[in-house]
Structure 1
Amino acid sequence: MDTITLLQPDDWHAHLRDGEALRRTVPDLAKQFHRAICMPNLVPPVKTVEEAIAYRQRILAHVPNGIDFDPRMVLYFTDHTPAEEVVKIKQSDAVNAIKLYPAGATTNSENGVSDIRKVYPVIEQLEEHQVPLLLHGEVTHSHVDIFDREKRYLDEVLVPLLRQFPQLKIVLEHITTADAANFVLEQGRNVAATITPQHLLFNRNHMLVGGIKPHFYCLPILKRQTHQTTLLEVATSGNPKFFLGTDSAPHAQSKKEQACGCAGCYSAPNAIELYAQAFEQMGKLDKLEGFASHFGADFYGLARNTKTITLVRQSIQVPAQLDYLDNDPIIPLYAGQTLNWSLQ
């Protein structure tokens, strides 16, 4: 194949940030995706439907002319989220879900849920109204090894949660392990997962061998090659429980390349080409459209897109850096490397 035409894909997990950052992040994402689930971990976080609608307007102000981009909004789950907010989500035509960050798990997660049992009354409403709960699936106990935190979350949090709320719609975000993939496979249709391009294309060797590569550092952290292999298998299998979510997370170069660098990979500029690279490695380019364009919309109960995009087999080099904030650039994922496909 020299060309691939897909229904326009959606990104079911993206960080756009706020303020000046939107000038970079919104056009990068909107040039390829029609919809994006916009993460709420701003400072301060997006905690109500009203705040989400206001954030959506700030995003829309940066969409380039002639591009049809539909930001789908998410609320930030805290220990104090009122159960009534779930009904407001259900009634909204722009807010689709609520995101649970365990407190301290990742960027701007300090206001996250300290103990999931505290918010069971709200989760009961999520189950009743079939509003998706999006999970950053890692425990945050300091004594648990960082490479084991996803597996421990499955055992200690998710198993009891689904026992209590068996019909709850859950998206386990950015899964990184064979354990998580198999867990999702074992559940009913109400449990799905997103997978990032970095977890399909790379493993912890890419980050650590020959020197630490800070632009491969993300949370959940890259795992062993055996986990990467399983993620590739399920992503390219055509199973509708797995769909595209980049977790594209912008941080300026100065914030990544320092003694305590931020977690996150900025994949937005070439996300669909990165996924095409991974699917081609598996000989499964015919499965890309389902993963990128069908399964996420189906899970969220939204209509599939009708417009298309076309990828052409044309080598492109990912820029070494991109303008971002003032004089502080951003280094995209795969910077300076060659991709086999380009967006026409």
Structure 2
Amino acid sequence: FEPLMTLYLTDNTTPEDIKLAAKAGIPAVKLYPAGATTNSDAAVTNIDGLDPVLEALVEHNMLLLVHGEMTDSHIDIFDREKAFIDQRLAPITQRFPELKVVFEHITTKDAAEFVSSANDNVAATITPQHLMLNRNDLLVGGVRPHNYCLPVLKRNIHQEALRAVVASGSTRFFLGTDSAPHEQAKKETACGCAGCYSAWAALELYTQVFDELNALDKLEGFASHYGADFYGLPRNSGTVTLIKQPWNLSESIDLPNGRPIIPFMAGSQVQWQIKS
């Protein structure tokens, strides 16, 4: 297992920083609009001022990984991804067509259509929760804090659009869990943290989605090939075998400090598991 480290983009990042990052083997930078998600307060406040940095990314063949939401207070939280596409991402890809951009954890039909119609240097990741759930699963029958993440779950027409693009086998879309573990007490509170802890069972959950879509033949590309290819990295040589055998996800997982985390889809039955 080799983690790929990224550079946290801020208003103070310079082209020289990009040069040094590339020299150190860092493949990408992460763009968070300030305040868009957990721990993003130190991120970019002026995206329009990034052009010299974006030019440096192209020069040094580094990727731009984007959390794509506007954070203006007057923009409805369910509209922030589309607003980001219209006001920020589309202009960036037009000004820098050679810049490789990954639109991370997309949540809307608008994002799926944008990526599908953009140039070949634009791709996107999709999380298990945005394929499995919609905003009804967050709000109907009571607020369900362990389904709360950012970007927030959207209405079912957006969920269905995401399911359609992964079932299509398009190489522009690949696995990205955005897994974010938070202690139970920090989720079940008056102002809870955003994030779903999916990594511990993500592959099984993705497999269940692809099975539901009659698209198991598209799973390997989504999970193992398209991301590496877009990054220009070698594909993994190892293999994982999944078998169709139901099992129940844990209700909670205890941290070393004894405090519990409630995993994504806790207590539910999954139809696939990794063969040991």
1:86/1:126 contact within 8 Å kept:
yes
Displacement after TM superposition at 1:90 (Å):
2.4
Displacement after TM superposition at 1:88 (Å):
2.5
Q: 1:250 corresponds to which residue?
A: 181
Out of 252, 277, 293, the residue aligned to residue 208 of structure 2 is 277
Alpha-carbon distance between aligned partners in 2 of 1:126 and 1:185, rounded to the nearest angstrom:
23
Out of 8, 26, 43, the residue aligned to residue 112 of structure 1 is 43
Alpha-carbon distance between aligned partners in 2 of 1:119 and 1:187, rounded to the nearest angstrom:
21
The alignment status of 1:98 with 2:29, answered yes or no, reads yes
Q: 1:64 corresponds to which residue?
A: none
The alignment status of 1:223 with 2:154, answered yes or no, reads yes
Q: 1:205 corresponds to which residue?
A: 136
Alpha-carbon distance between aligned partners in 2 of 1:214 and 1:329, rounded to the nearest angstrom:
15
Where 1:234 maps in the other structure, the secondary structure is helix
Q: Deviations over 1:253-283 (max 9, x none)?
A: 0000000000000001100000001111100
1:207/1:214 contact within 8 Å kept:
yes
Q: Which amino acid aligns with 1:128?
A: E
Q: Deviations over 1:175-196 (max 9, x none)?
A: 0000000000111110000000
Alpha-carbon distance between aligned partners in 1 of 2:36 and 2:89, rounded to the nearest angstrom:
16
Q: Which amino acid aligns with 1:241?
A: R
Q: Which amino acid aligns with 1:330?
A: I
Q: 2:266 corresponds to which residue?
A: 335
Displacement after TM superposition at 1:129 (Å):
2.0
Out of 5, 16, 21, the residue aligned to residue 89 of structure 1 is 21
CA RMSD of aligned residues (A): 0.9
Q: Which amino acid aligns with 2:191?
A: C
Alpha-carbon distance between aligned partners in 2 of 1:252 and 1:96, rounded to the nearest angstrom:
30
User: How many matched pairs?
Assistant: 275
Q: 2:75 corresponds to which residue?
A: 144
Alpha-carbon distance between aligned partners in 1 of 2:73 and 2:256, rounded to the nearest angstrom:
33
Alignment TM-score, normalising by the size of structure 1: 0.79
Q: 2:2 corresponds to which residue?
A: 70
1:252/1:325 contact within 8 Å kept:
no
Map 1:165-314 → 2, pairs under 5 A: 165-314=96-245
Alpha-carbon distance between aligned partners in 2 of 1:303 and 1:91, rounded to the nearest angstrom:
19
Displacement after TM superposition at 1:130 (Å):
2.2
Displacement after TM superposition at 1:92 (Å):
3.0
1:266/1:333 contact within 8 Å kept:
yes
Displacement after TM superposition at 1:238 (Å):
1.1
Displacement after TM superposition at 1:164 (Å):
1.6
Alpha-carbon distance between aligned partners in 2 of 1:92 and 1:189, rounded to the nearest angstrom:
26
Alpha-carbon distance between aligned partners in 2 of 1:131 and 1:172, rounded to the nearest angstrom:
14
1:89/1:131 contact within 8 Å kept:
no
Unaligned runs of 5+ in 2: none
Q: Which amino acid aligns with 1:305?
A: N
1:197/1:275 contact within 8 Å kept:
yes
Q: Which amino acid aligns with 2:225?
A: H
Where 1:134 maps in the other structure, the secondary structure is strand
Unaligned runs of 5+ in 1: 1-68
Q: Which amino acid aligns with 1:339?
A: V
Alpha-carbon distance between aligned partners in 2 of 1:296 and 1:335, rounded to the nearest angstrom:
28
Q: Deviations over 1:127-183 (max 9, x none)?
A: 222210000000000111000000000000012212221211100000000000000
Residue identity over aligned pairs, in percent, reads 57
Where 2:157 maps in the other structure, the secondary structure is helix
Q: Which amino acid aligns with 2:265?
A: Y
Displacement after TM superposition at 1:325 (Å):
5.2
1:105/1:140 contact within 8 Å kept:
yes
Displacement after TM superposition at 1:119 (Å):
1.8
Q: Deviations over 1:23-51 (max 9, x none)?
A: xxxxxxxxxxxxxxxxxxxxxxxxxxxxx
Displaced runs of 4+ in structure 1, greater than 6 A?
none
Alpha-carbon distance between aligned partners in 2 of 1:315 and 1:297, rounded to the nearest angstrom:
30
Q: Deviations over 1:71-112 (max 9, x none)?
A: 11101000001211222232334x210001000000000010
Alpha-carbon distance between aligned partners in 2 of 1:88 and 1:299, rounded to the nearest angstrom:
22
1:104/1:110 contact within 8 Å kept:
yes
